[in-house]
Structure 1
């Protein structure tokens, strides 16, 4: 019987209680792509490796035909996605961006009204 790569990967992601949003962020893709991967019978080795590194799971046990144990040695060297984003306030970033754009807009309005 042939392996369903997406189901195996999804099982491991869910078993590790890893948030899909965090996984998507760590893989630099959107959540929909994650769900599409879960539904795929066959996944590229690069995708499985990327997910394994993101969730810190060694997929060489599930996919010995693709990986060796040392392929996932970087798991211990990379930071967890939650740690990367923990010190960064996303709301503050967007607030600053909004205020900056609002100021530029107001400056343009004043400039245009000056010429009227």
Structure 2
């Protein structure tokens, strides 16, 4: 029985948590094409290879008849620092501090009301 290549590729992509929109953008295809590949029983070698490069997965394990490990030179992907995340973290810290002060005021007020 032959392997359903599309399902195997889909499993790897989804297991790695890679966004299908990001995958489509990286491969310069639309999302519909990605879904069609997942449904396809056999895929061209270059498609599997390119998907593997984008999601940083060595498909030589799943398809040893098509690839050798050396083909998938998985260099660390460069990620730009997300400035929004740093700003959001700063706002989050300020928000938590403000909530803690508000909580202290409520406790103090409740204590005063009990006396």
Structures share fold, TM-score greater than 0.5? yes
Alignment: residue pair count:
82
Mapped to 2, the partners of 1:62 and 1:10 lie a distance apart of 12
Q: Deviations over 1:19-70 (max 9, x none)?
A: 0000001111110000000000000000000000000000000000000000
Give the TM-score normalised by the residue count of structure 2. 0.66
Q: Is 1:31 the counterpart of 2:31 in the alignment?
A: yes
Q: Can you give the 5+ residue segments of structure 1 that lack an aligned partner in the other structure? A: 88-116
Select the structure of larger CA radius of gyration. Answer: 2
Question: Equivalents in 1 of 2:56, 2:27: separation in Å?
Answer: 12
RMSD: 1.7
Residue of structure 2 in register with 1:101 after alignment: none
Deviations 1:2-34 (A, max 9, x none): 100000000000100110000001111110000
Q: What's the counterpart of residue 41 of structure 1?
A: 41
Which aligned segments of 4 or more residues in structure 1 are displaced greater than 3 angstroms?
none
